[in-house]
C-alpha cells in the first residue's frame, strides 16, 4: 500500500472551510495534494447523493467541512449536514464504506493551519484503510 | 380510553359479520365512504376500493392474504385536501404506519379520516396469492385465516407468507382509531372491535353496541407472536447483512436490476413528487457514456443502478415500514425488502426513531438541534 495515493473529494463551505483553505494557500502552508476541493455555499447543500456518487465513482474518501456550530451563514445548514452524515454513517459501512471515508469537520475561516492538518491526517488515515473498493471492480 | 365491543358471528362466517359491521358504519351520517379491499369481478384480484353504497360490500375481503399494494399513498390522495365528509379506511398495520409517515410529510391529513386497522394475519406475495386463489377458489380466504389462527403460520401447499410479513413485529395496528381484533380470538364465533381514540369512541357510541372487555387471550397471542416474528426478523437481518457486506456483494445482489424503478413506485414512503433518477439530471450526453466506459474499459448499462438503490435508501430508510411492496413490485424478483428493511433498521436505530410509531414524532431529517451527535464530527 506504500505508493497508494488516495483521492479525497472535499465539499467545503464558501464562508468557513473554503476561506481556511485559501488562507492555508496564501500562508504557504503545505498540505497533501490528494484533496480536490469543491466549493459549496454551505454544508447544508451537500445532498447525500453527491457523497454516495463520489464514493461509487472511486474517490477514496469524502470530506464535508464548514462552519462551526453557531457560525453557519445560513443559520442551521451545518446542523442539517450533521444529521445527513449521521444517516450515511448508519447506512454506508454495511456496504464496505467505512465511516472514516465520510468525514465531517468544522473548520473556521481563520483556521488555515487546522485545514492543512486535517487534510494531512485524513490522507494518513485513508492510506491505512486502503483504496475504496469501487475503484477496483465493476460496480453497476 | 379504549372501548371494546363484541360482534356475534353467525354460521361460522366472520366475513358476513364484517360486512354487516361495515354496512352500519357506512350508514352513519358523517361517514362519506369506506376504503376497503375487495375481490374485483375480474380475475381473482383483490384491490382497494372506495365504497359509498353499502350494496357494494358483498365482495369485501379484508382477511384475504392478498396485498397487491400499500394503500398509504391512496389514502394520502383521498385526504390531502378537505372533502367535507369523513372517509373510513380499512388498512393493514404497515399501511397505517406508512400513512403516518406521509402525514408527517404533509402529504396526507388525518382530519377527515377514520383509521380502521385490522389485526394483520400476513399476506402472500402477488404471484403466490394468485396460485393460492387459483387452486382454492372461493374457499381460499377461509383456508388462510383458519390456518393462521390455528397457529400454523400460513404455510399451505408450499406457499408461505411473504418474508416482509414473517419479519414483521407489528401484527396489530397500534395507532388506528378502531381495531378489528383477530389474534387470540375464535373468529368463527365472535369478533371484537376495539377503539383507541376519541374519534373511534365517537363512532362506536353511535353504533349502539354493548361494551365489553378486550379478551385476555388477544394480548397473550400477540406477545408470543411478536417474539416469533422478531426472532425470524433478526435471522433475516443476519443473513442479508452477510450477503451484502461489501460493494462487490451488493453489486451481485442487485445484478438483475434493470432500473425500471417499479420498487420506488410501489414504495409507500418514497415521497419525492419527482424522482431525480427520471429527470434530465440522468439524461447524460452520449459522449459521457463513452468516457465512463473508457475508464475501466466497460460500463454496465443502464448505469447508476447501485447509485439509485443507495440513494433511495438514504431517502426512505428513516421512513421504511417494511411492508414488502418493493419486493412485490420487482419484475426480476430481487429480494429488496430484506435489504431495505435491514438498512432501515440501522438508520432508525441511529436516530432512536421508528417509522409509523407516532404522529407526533418528527422525521429525523426534518429537525435538528445545536447540541447533538457530536460523535459525527469526531470519527477516528
Ligand atoms: S422500502 Fe420496501 S419495505 Fe420499505 S416501505 Fe418501501 S416498499 Fe415497503
Ligand atoms: S423494481 Fe427491481 S428491476 Fe426495477 S428498479 Fe427496483 S430493483 Fe431494479
Ligand atoms: S455557511 Fe458554512 S456551513 Fe453553512
The pLDDT tens digits of the residues spanning B325-348 come to 999 999 999 999 999 999 999 999
Residue A54 belongs to a domain? yes
Residue A140 belongs to a domain? no
Of the CA atoms within 13 Å of residue B270, those in its CB half-sphere come to 21
Q: Which residue has the cell 469524502?
A: A62
The rounded Å distance from CA B199 to ligand 1 centre is 29
- Strand residues in chain A grouped as ranges (E): 8-13, 35-40, 61-66, 102-106
* Positive or negative torsion for Cα B181, B78, B261, A62: negative
Residue A134 belongs to a domain? no
3-state secondary structure labels for all residues of B261-316: CHHHHHCCCCCCCCCHHHCHHHCCCHHHHHHHHHHHCCCCCCCCHHHHHHHHHHHH
pLDDT digits (tens, 9 = 90+) for B151-183: 999 999 999 999 999 999 999 999 999 999 999
Residue A101 belongs to a domain? yes
Q: How far is CA B342 from CA A10, A25, B197, B348, B357, in A?
A: 30, 45, 32, 10, 18
Indicate the number of domains in chain A: 1
For residue A3, the model assigns a pLDDT of 82
For B305, the closest chain A residue by CA position comes to A140
pLDDT digits (tens, 9 = 90+) for B30-75: 899 999 999 998 877 999 999 999 999 999 999 999 999 999 999 9
On whether any CB of chain B is under 8 Å from the CB of A84, the answer is: yes
Q: How many CB atoms lie within 10 A of CB A87?
A: 23
How far is residue B317's CA from residue B269's CA, in Å, rounded to a whole number? 9
For residue A137, the model assigns a pLDDT of 80
| pLDDT above 70 coverage of chain B, percent | 99
> Which DSSP helix (H) or strand (E) runs through A23?
helix A17-26
Residue A136 belongs to a domain? no
**DSSP structure class, residue B112:** T
What average pLDDT does this structure show over B276-289?
94
Strand partners, B128: none
3-state secondary structure labels for all residues of A2-20: CCCCCCEEEEEECCCHHHH
- The answer to whether the CB of A112 is under 6 A from ligand 3 is no
Residue A58 belongs to a domain? yes
For residue A42, the model assigns a pLDDT of 98
pTM of the predicted model as reported, rounded to 2 decimal places: 0.96
Residue A45 belongs to a domain? yes
Q: Are B87 and B113 in contact (CB under 8 A)?
A: yes
Q: Which segments of chain A have a pLDDT < 70?
A: 1-2
How far is residue B245's CA from residue A92's CA, in Å, rounded to a whole number? 10
**Cβ-based contacts of A125 with chain B (< 8 Å):** 380
Which of A83, A36, A88, A52 has the alpha carbon at shortest distance from B364? A83
What average pLDDT does this structure show over B205-212?
91
On whether any CB of chain B is under 8 Å from the CB of A105, the answer is: yes
- B246 → closest Cβ in A83, A90, A133: A133
Count residue pairs from A and B with Cβ separation < 8 A. Answer: 111
Q: How far is CA B93 from CA A49, B143, B307, B353, in A?
A: 31, 22, 31, 17
Which of B114, B125, B58 has the alpha carbon at shortest distance from B91? B114
Residue A27 belongs to a domain? yes
On whether any CB of chain B is under 8 Å from the CB of A135, the answer is: no
Q: Which residue has the cell 433518477?
A: B277
What's the pLDDT band for B379 if we cut at 50, 70, 90?
low
The rounded Å distance from CA B153 to ligand 1 centre is 22
Q: How many CB atoms lie within 10 A of CB B157?
A: 10
Q: Are B321 and B98 in contact (CB under 8 A)?
A: yes
Q: Nine-digit cell at B133?
A: 386463489
Full domain range(s) for residue A105: 8-129
Quote the mean pLDDT of chain B. 96
Residues in chain A, overall count: 140
pLDDT at B380 over 70: no
pLDDT at B321 over 90: yes
Q: Nine-digit cell at B375?
A: 460523535
Q: Are A104 and A62 in contact (CB under 8 A)?
A: no
Which of B195, B161, B166, B157 has the alpha carbon at shortest distance from B179? B195
For residue B11, the model assigns a pLDDT of 95
ipTM, 2 dp: 0.96
Question: Could you tell me the CATH number of the domain that includes residue A86?
Answer: 3.40.50.960
How far is residue A4's CA from residue A129's CA, in Å, rounded to a whole number? 10
Amino acid at each position: 500500500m506504500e505508493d497508494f495515493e488516495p483521492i479525497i473529494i472535499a465539499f467545503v463551505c464558501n464562508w468557513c472551510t473554503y476561506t481556511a483553505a485559501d488562507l492555508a494557500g496564501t500562508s504557504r502552508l503545505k498540505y497533501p495534494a490528494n484533496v480536490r476541493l469543491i466549493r459549496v455555499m454551505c454544508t447544508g447543500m451537500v445532498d447525500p447523493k453527491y457523497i454516495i456518487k463520489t464514493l461509487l465513482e472511486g474517490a477514496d474518501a469524502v470530506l464535508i467541512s464548514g462552519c462551526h456550530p453557531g457560525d453557519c451563514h445560513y443559520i442551521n445548514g451545518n446542523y442539517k449536514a450533521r444529521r445527513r452524515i449521521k444517516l450515511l454513517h448508519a447506512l454506508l459501512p454495511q456496504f464496505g464504506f467505512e465511516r472514516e471515508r465520510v468525514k465531517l469537520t468544522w473548520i473556521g475561516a481563520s483556521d488555515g493551519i487546522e485545514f492543512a492538518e486535517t487534510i494531512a491526517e485524513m490522507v494518513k488515515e485513508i492510506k491505512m484503510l486502503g483504496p475504496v473498493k469501487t475503484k477496483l471492480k465493476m460496480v453497476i | 380510553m379504549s372501548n371494546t365491543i363484541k360482534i356475534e358471528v353467525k354460521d361460522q362466517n366472520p366475513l358476513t359479520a364484517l360486512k354487516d359491521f361495515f354496512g352500519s358504519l357506512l350508514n352513519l351520517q358523517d361517514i362519506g365512504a369506506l376504503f376497503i379491499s375487495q375481490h374485483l369481478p375480474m380475475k381473482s384480484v383483490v384491490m382497494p376500493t372506495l365504497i359509498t353504497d353499502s350494496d357494494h360490500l358483498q365482495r369485501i375481503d379484508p382477511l384475504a392474504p392478498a396485498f397487491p399494494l400499500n394503500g398509504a399513498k391512496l389514502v394520502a390522495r383521498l385526504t390531502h385536501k378537505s372533502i367535507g365528509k369523513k372517509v373510513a379506511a380499512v388498512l393493514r398495520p404497515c399501511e397505517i404506519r406508512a400513512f403516518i409517515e406521509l402525514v408527517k410529510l404533509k402529504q396526507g391529513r388525518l382530519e377527515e379520516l377514520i383509521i380502521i386497522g385490522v389485526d394483520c394475519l400476513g399476506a402472500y406475495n402477488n404471484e403466490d396469492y394468485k396460485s393460492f386463489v387459483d387452486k382454492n377458489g372461493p374457499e381460499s380466504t377461509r383456508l388462510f385465516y383458519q390456518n393462521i389462527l390455528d397457529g400454523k403460520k400460513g404455510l399451505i401447499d408450499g406457499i408461505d407468507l411473504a418474508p416482509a410479513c414473517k419479519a414483521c413485529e407489528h401484527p396489530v395496528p397500534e395507532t388506528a382509531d378502531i381495531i378489528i381484533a383477530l389474534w387470540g380470538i375464535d373468529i368463527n364465533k365472535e369478533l371484537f372491535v376495539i377503539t383507541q381514540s376519541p374519534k373511534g369512541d365517537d363512532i362506536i357510541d353511535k353504533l349502539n353496541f354493548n361494551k365489553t372487555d378486550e379478551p385476555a387471550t388477544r394480548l397473550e397471542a400477540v406477545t408470543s407472536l411478536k417474539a416469533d416474528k422478531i426472532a425470524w426478523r433478526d435471522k433475516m437481518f443476519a443473513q442479508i447483512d452477510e450477503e451484502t457486506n461489501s460493494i462487490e456483494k451488493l453489486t451481485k445482489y442487485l445484478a438483475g436490476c434493470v432500473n425500471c424503478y417499479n420498487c420506488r413506485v410501489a414504495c409507500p414512503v418514497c415521497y419525492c413528487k419527482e424522482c431525480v433518477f427520471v429527470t434530465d439530471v440522468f439524461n447524460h450526453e452520449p459522449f459521457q457514456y463513452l468516457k465512463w466506459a473508457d475508464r475501466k474499459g466497460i460500463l454496465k448499462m443502464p448505469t447508476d443502478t447501485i447509485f439509485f438503490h443507495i440513494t433511495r435508501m438514504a431517502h426512505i430508510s428513516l421512513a421504511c415500514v417494511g411492508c414488502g411492496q418493493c419486493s412485490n413490485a420487482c419484475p426480476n424478483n430481487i429480494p429488496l425488502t430484506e435489504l431495505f428493511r435491514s438498512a432501515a433498521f440501522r438508520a432508525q436505530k441511529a436516530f432512536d426513531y421508528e417509522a409509523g410509531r407516532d404522529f407526533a414524532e418528527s422525521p429525523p431529517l426534518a429537525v435538528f438541534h445545536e447540541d447533538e451527535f457530536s460523535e459525527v464530527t469526531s470519527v477516528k
